[in-house]
Structure 1
Amino acid sequence: MMRKLFSLMALPFAVACSAPSVTRYAAEQPKLDLVAYFAGTVDAWGMFQKRNGEVVKRFTVQITGRRDGDRFILDERFRYSDGNTDRRVWTLTQDADGRWRGTAGDVVGQARGELAGNALNWRYTLKLPVDGKVYEVQLDDWMFLVDEHTLINRASMSKFGFDVGEVTLFFRKRQP
């Protein structure tokens, strides 16, 4: 009985570990250059779905990216379907091995990102406000460059290894 209980408890962690490595996309084209794509202004449209698939929030985001020395700043301004607004400012740095680190006011610690080919995988813990409470949820965030102007993003949210929901975003880089 204890063995079955342990197996059931370990299942979410085993599933979480079975995600593909970003290196699987190393040969995919076009190659994603994070700084080149997000420099300037990028518009995004997205939604949050509960784990049962119900859409509970829709939103738009205007993103402005700029260099600041060896850092890259992403200023995200959200407008939600209920009229609320929010802002997240990311500070990104690239490590010598090509991986990325990022911080923001509502991110616990640092986001860790790995880039290969047309894909970027971010993993981080986000402070998520819901109905007057703040929950810490883990995000497994995947971005895929489709063409020089279009990026698709899907982020799975979990808490204690259990799915909470999913965020889907479509990005469009503005023409200069």
Structure 2
Amino acid sequence: MSEQSTSMFHDGHRELQDRFDGRRMADALEKHRRFSEFREQDVNFIENAEFFFIATAHGQSVDCSFRGGAPGFVRVTNPTRLEWADFDGNSMYRSLGNVLKSPRIGLLFIEFGAQPKRLRVNGNCTLVDGPTKEGHKMTVRVDADEIFPNCPRYIPDLNKAAASSFIPDETGASAKPEWKNAEDLRDALPAKDPHRQ
């Protein structure tokens, strides 16, 4: 694993760390728990994840959203990169529109259960156009520069339920969400939306 060259903390972080005597712990966590390359356990966790949260920002436009899919929908493609296909959404492109203006991105992977896990991945994001092999319109690529596990103590132990019926299958087909039938929205669906009919 390569060494980090700059601190992950800015003056605001330091102000609160010093106010509440947290600087020593923050420095120890940065030194021992912050990685610049994916470890084997990170790859296994990410590639078995069924969801994660994505945070982006540009000026006053701040967005935190959810991404989900079948295990394997996020792939670690080299020691510092992960990718996923952009699934059908509501056409607002709040997260990915922010990426076009400000490529910094934060991802949070969580596993619920008796032994919960949490992993943060921060880096620079690019969008790769062109249909994926499953027919999705683009691939989202993140070149990670901060990879760190986080304490999972407040993650609840939830019973596992069935996967969403809206996750695209291997052909890209999925169930139609009810909001696409709404009279005030259905005519605004993109021309190539498979649920336009």
TM-score, normalised with respect to structure 2? 0.27
TM-score, normalised with respect to structure 1? 0.29
Larger-Rg structure: 2
- Structure with bigger helix share is 2
